[in-house]
């Protein structure tokens, strides 16, 4: 079991997109009220006085869409300035990124993942549930703004949905040839839209790798990330190709992360909802940070047993009360 030192922090559960794999169409979500969100002060207290003392040194800011959080640049600056912050990154849909990419970089953010599920604006708009003006170009501008500012690595996340965008795998992989961009292909999961998952299913990462292998060849990369991706490279390419294979290749034994929701629930496993801790309520009712440290240590000790390892004919069997946007990805 890897050392668990990586915390994914959801800053807000709201999003300006409604991606098919994250939020089911036609379902109204109960968004967290502002007063139920962790405040900046509470979040910084938990990081500095609870998570860092028990061994967390790597933090990723997620959502919903984290750039919707008011004062996000100053929050980034505050977390980045903590003496024991070893790594600070963010996952965003990129729509609001271009105007503040420089500010985020200067505040101390160095790594960024941007969701880009299609190079075709029409398919992109269908995936994100947009029926109005195309948002693809603004996301593309956000990607280039981050690249020009100096974010390295710049990673592009692609959730592969059969019959929707899987025919674009080679075109997306080709983005790594001439630029130091790192594409991450993610297997579609049943969290967020179980109906679409049941209808479409998922494509094993090895099948995607074989398509790329047949076109250009493929070698294992010496570059390793902080997460569960298996990293490869097209020979001679500047960037890399990562495959996050949570459906076809169990990587529970390599899991080094926990997740903190925007309303303060600490979740030890993405695919298992048991043993969550409500840190916000504990903090607001006066439980000391020393006591919270002990609760988190206890959860860390249990994590190997909590990690979801069972598969039934290649699919998960869990029922999830929160969508991916509410969990924080």
pLDDT in tens, 180-234: 999 999 988 766 556 665 555 789 999 999 999 999 999 998 776 667 789 999 9
127-167, pLDDT tens digit by residue? 998 777 789 999 999 999 999 999 988 999 999 999 999 99
Residue 100 CB-density burial (10 A; 0-12 exposed, 13-18 middle, 19+ buried)? middle
Q: Does domain 6-327 have CATH number 3.20.20.70?
A: yes
Task: Reply yes or no on whether the pLDDT at 296 is more than 80.
Answer: yes
Model confidence, pTM: 0.90
Mean pLDDT of 272-300: 94
The position carrying tokens 């000391």 is: 288
CA angle 162/256/321 to nearest 5° reads 55
- With bands split at pLDDT 50, 70 and 90, how would you rate the model's confidence at 88? very high
Q: How far apart are CA 269 and CA 215, in angstroms?
A: 36
Residue 204 CB-density burial (10 A; 0-12 exposed, 13-18 middle, 19+ buried)? middle
Q: Which residue has the higher pLDDT, 79 or 21?
A: 79
Q: How far apart are CA 239 and CA 251, in angstroms?
A: 23
12-16, 125-129, 222-226, 294-298: least confident range: 222-226
Task: Reply yes or no on whether the pLDDT at 273 is more than 50.
Answer: yes
Mean pLDDT of 49-69: 96
User: Quick one: tokens of 300?
Assistant: 């860390």
User: Quick one: tokens of 20?
Assistant: 């098919």
Closest CA to 227 of 207, 211, 242: 242
């Amino acid at each position: 079991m890897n050392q668990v030192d990586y915390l994914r922090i959801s800053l807000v559960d709201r999003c300006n997109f409604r991606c098919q794999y994250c939020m089911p169409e036609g379902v109204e979500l109960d968004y967290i009220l502002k007063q139920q969100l962790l405040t900046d002060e509470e979040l910084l207290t938990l990081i500095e006085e609870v998570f860092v003392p028990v061994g967390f040194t790597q933090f990723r800011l997620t959502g919903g869409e984290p750039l919707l959080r008011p004062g996000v640049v100053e929050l980034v600056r505050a977390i980045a300035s903590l003496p024991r912050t070893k790594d600070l990154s963010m996952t965003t849909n990129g729509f609001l990124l271009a105007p503040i990419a420089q500010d985020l970089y200067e505040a101390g953010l160095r790594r960024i993942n941007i969701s880009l599920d299609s190079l075709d604006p029409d398919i992109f708009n269908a995936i994100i549930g947009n029926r109005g003006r195309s948002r693809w170009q603004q996301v593309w501008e956000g990607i280039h703004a981050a690249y020009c500012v100096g974010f390295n690595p710049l990673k592009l996340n692609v959730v592969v949905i059969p019959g929707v965008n899987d025919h674009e795998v080679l075109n997306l992989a080709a983005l790594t040839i001439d630029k130091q961009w790192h594409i991450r292909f993610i297997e579609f999961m049943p969290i967020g839209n179980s109906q679409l998952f049941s209808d479409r299913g998922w494509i094993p990462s090895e099948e995607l790798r074989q398509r790329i292998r047949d076109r250009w060849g493929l070698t294992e990369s010496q570059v390793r990330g902080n997460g569960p991706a298996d990293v490869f490279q097209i020979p001679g390419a500047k960037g890399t190709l990562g495959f996050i294979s949570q459906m076809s290749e169990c990587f529970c034994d390599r899991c080094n992360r926990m997740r903190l929701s925007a309303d303060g629930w600490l979740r030890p496993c993405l695919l298992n909802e048991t043993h969550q801790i409500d840190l916000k309520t504990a903090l607001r009712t006066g439980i000391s940070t020393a006591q919270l440290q002990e609760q988190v240590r206890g959860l860390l000790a249990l994590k190997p047993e909590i990690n979801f390892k069972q598969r039934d004919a290649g699919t998960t069997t869990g029922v999830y009360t929160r969508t991916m946007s509410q969990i924080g990805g």
